[in-house]
Homo-oligomer: A and B are copies of this chain.
Amino acid sequence: MFPIEIVGFTAGAFATIAFVPQVYKTWKTKSAKDVSIHMFLLFITGVILWIVYGAVKGVPAVLVSNIIIFILAALQIFLKIKYDKKNKK
């Protein structure tokens, strides 16, 4: 692997794990009032397209990291809807 490919791979790894602290924070505080659902809906749309891109072009790194991001972003959307509903009561 060329050094620059390692840079690209590391960039992807950072973007992927970035979602973990947000999901954890929402789960821990049981509140996601300030989190924009539109951000996550737009982001997950991009992620789905990247999964298609990674699958068609045969780029495992793109495919795998975006599948992980998809799961985390979907979890965040689920928690956001759940706690927004609960906190409104």
Contacts and interface: CB of A to CB of B under 8 A. Distances in A.
B36 A33 contact: no
29 contacts: A4-B53, A7-B53, A8-B53, A10-B46, A11-B47, A11-B50, A11-B52, A11-B53, A12-B46, A14-B42, A14-B45, A14-B46, A15-B43, A15-B50, A18-B38, A18-B39, A18-B42, A21-B36, A21-B42, A22-B36, A24-B36, A25-B36, A25-B39, A26-B34, A31-B33, A31-B34, A32-B34, A33-B33, A34-B35
Stoichiometry (number of copies):
2
A49 B11 contact: yes
Interface of A: 4, 7-8, 10-15, 17-22, 24-26, 29, 31-36, 38-40, 42-43, 45-47, 49-50, 52-53, 56-57
